[in-house]
Amino acid sequence: MVSKDCVAMILAGGQGSRLGALTKNVAKPAVPFGGKYRIIDFPLSNCVHSGIDTVGVLTQYQPLELNRYIGNGNPWDLDRSHGGIYVLPPYQSAQTGEWYKGTANAIYQNISFLEGFKPENVLILSGDHIYKMHYGEMLKAHKQSGAAATIAVMPVPWEEASRFGIMNVDENGTITEFEEKPAEPKSNLASMGIYIFRYDVLKKYLEADERDPASSNDFGKNIIPTMLADGEKMVSFRFEGYWKDVGTIQSLWEANMDLIDNPPKFDLNDRHWSIYSRNMALAPHYVGNNAKITNSTVTEGCYIDGSIDHSVVFGAVELGEGSVVKDSVVMPGAKIGKNVVIEKAVIGADAVIGDGAKVGVNASDDNKYASKLCTNDLVLVEGGAEIAAEEDIYKGSMVEA
């Protein structure tokens, strides 16, 4: 087999439990985002635009929908004869067989996959971030520096730095220290969870890590600190631009809202860096005589006859006459009746909202749907859930199907 300069491995096994009902039946990377995408479209599209044509996707939690979505990889141009996309679930081998114990263990369990491509370098990505990044430039910097590993970092506001893994670097960008969520950060350069390793070094450390029963087999907790302690050359690669971890309902909602600001904080209408996604083969959307759409995005297959303001509406959504959707995210196939009011909500795929219902309009202390996960008065309606006509769903609710 042809040996590859760089193979990408996307960690897509996370449950994403803070996304509540959104990830009840799907893995976090398969959660819809931005009107017509899923979260995993971002790292996949970045790979393709960066010239990386061999990608392993490590799945574990609720993989069915993600597997089906990825298919043969053709939406991302990753249906290749030499390379392409591979879904890599944990498997049973002659001696052992176990779930992925941590991010490092997930890669360790797929060393034989990597061996097949004899890569010079391995790019480790996570499947839950929204950003556009040229990995090719990072790879170039990695090769020039001759580092054992290069870690993408970005400056974050100082007051938020203690929420991240913080890299302390010297004037050349060489990493001197790594601190996971430090109480008193010495730097504001946060690790983005994007690593390029020289494959020979990575293999050595993964094997050593696996032999250590005390290790939690995690890149951030184990592999990187160990490599630093051993004096391996570790270099930071500074990224400036939009990057968002969409691990909570609040951050997922915010990241969607970032698309519709004027000018947008994150622009998807970018012909030079298209984000690819599996297409639903739907007709253009129809905007009816009673519709009013402002400060929003709407996509194929929708039938809109109500008002939409400051919202992200996915494909094949129906919105009846007299209904108003504001500051919300409406996922594919949701059917919203007439005279419905929805404010600051995330409506899951194929949810049905009956005529005259109110979602996120009123507040109440006696709320049977109240959820700790729905912060800042957000409402989450699970995909496929049905809300009866005239029902009042209070702020801060999570309605499950």
Partner 1 sequence: MRRDTMGIILTNDDRIPPITDIRANSALPIAGRYRIIDFVLSNMANAGITNIGVATESNYSSLMDHIKSGKPWDLDRKNWGLNILPPSLEKMTYGAIKGNIDMLAGISDFLQRSPQTYVILSLGNNIYNINFADVIEQHIESQADVTILYKDMHGVEERELSRFTMLELDENKRVTDIEVQPYYPKTAIAGMDVYVMEKALLESIVDECSARGDRDFVKDALVKKMQGLRIYGYEHTGYTDKIDSLKAYYRNNMNFLDKDIRNELFNPKNPIYTKTKDQSPTKYGEEASVSNSFISDGCIIEGTVINCVLSRGVKVKKGAVIKNSIIMQDSIIEEDVDLSHVVFDKEVYITKGRKLIGQESYPLAISKGTKI
The whole-angstrom separation of Cα 56 and Cα 91 is 15
Q: Is 72 in the site for partner 1 (CB under 8 A)?
A: no
Of the candidate residues 4, 28, 36, 198, the single one contacting partner 1 (CB under 8 A): 36
Size of the site for partner 1 (CB under 8 A): 38
Note the residue count of the chain.
401
Q: Is 291 in the site for partner 1 (CB under 8 A)?
A: yes
With beta carbons less than 8 A apart as the criterion, state whether 132 and 241 touch: yes
Of the candidate residues 160, 270, 362, 376, the single one contacting partner 1 (CB under 8 A): 270
Q: Is 93 in the site for partner 1 (CB under 8 A)?
A: no
- Give the count of alpha carbons within 13 A of 269, CB side only: 9
Closer CB to partner 1, residue 260 or residue 379? 260
Q: Is 94 in the site for partner 1 (CB under 8 A)?
A: no
Of the candidate residues 35, 165, 360, 396, the single one contacting partner 1 (CB under 8 A): 35
Q: Is 172 in the site for partner 1 (CB under 8 A)?
A: no
Of the candidate residues 275, 342, 357, 381, the single one contacting partner 1 (CB under 8 A): 275
Closer CB to partner 1, residue 155 or residue 288? 288
With beta carbons less than 8 A apart as the criterion, state whether 369 and 399 touch: yes
Of the candidate residues 120, 210, 258, 300, the single one contacting partner 1 (CB under 8 A): 300
The whole-angstrom separation of Cα 214 and Cα 153 is 28
Element (H, E) at 132: none
The whole-angstrom separation of Cα 288 and Cα 338 is 13
Strands 54-58 and 165-169: unpaired
Q: Is residue 174 helix, strand or coil?
A: strand
With beta carbons less than 8 A apart as the criterion, state whether 203 and 119 touch: no
The whole-angstrom separation of Cα 378 and Cα 342 is 11
Q: Is 129 in the site for partner 1 (CB under 8 A)?
A: no
Closer CB to partner 1, residue 34 or residue 102? 34
With CA atoms as reference, report the closest residue to 351 among 310, 309, 397: 397
As given in the structure block, the two tokens for residue 162 are 């203690």
Q: Which stretch binds partner 1 (CB under 8 A): 101-109, 216-224, 267-275, 369-377?
A: 267-275
Closer CB to partner 1, residue 51 or residue 288? 288
Positions of E strands within 327-375: 329-330, 335-336, 341-343, 345-347, 352-353, 358-359
With beta carbons less than 8 A apart as the criterion, state whether 285 and 298 touch: yes
Closer CB to partner 1, residue 291 or residue 401? 291
Per the DSSP assignment, residues forming a β-bridge with 155 are 189
Q: Is 38 in the site for partner 1 (CB under 8 A)?
A: no
Q: Is 189 in the site for partner 1 (CB under 8 A)?
A: no
Element (H, E) at 205: helix 199-211
With beta carbons less than 8 A apart as the criterion, state whether 293 and 308 touch: yes
Q: Least distance from C-beta 187 to partner 1, angstroms? A: 35
Q: Is 230 in the site for partner 1 (CB under 8 A)?
A: no
Of the candidate residues 51, 155, 241, 288, the single one contacting partner 1 (CB under 8 A): 288
Q: Least distance from C-beta 293 to partner 1, angstroms? A: 4
Segment 307-346, which members bind partner 1 (CB under 8 A)? 308, 312-313
Closer CB to partner 1, residue 46 or residue 371? 46
Of the candidate residues 15, 181, 283, 364, the single one contacting partner 1 (CB under 8 A): 283
Q: Which stretch binds partner 1 (CB under 8 A): 164-172, 232-240, 268-276, 383-391?
A: 268-276
Interface residues toward partner 1, by CB under 8 A: 34-36, 74-75, 260, 262, 268-270, 274-277, 279, 281-300, 308, 312-313
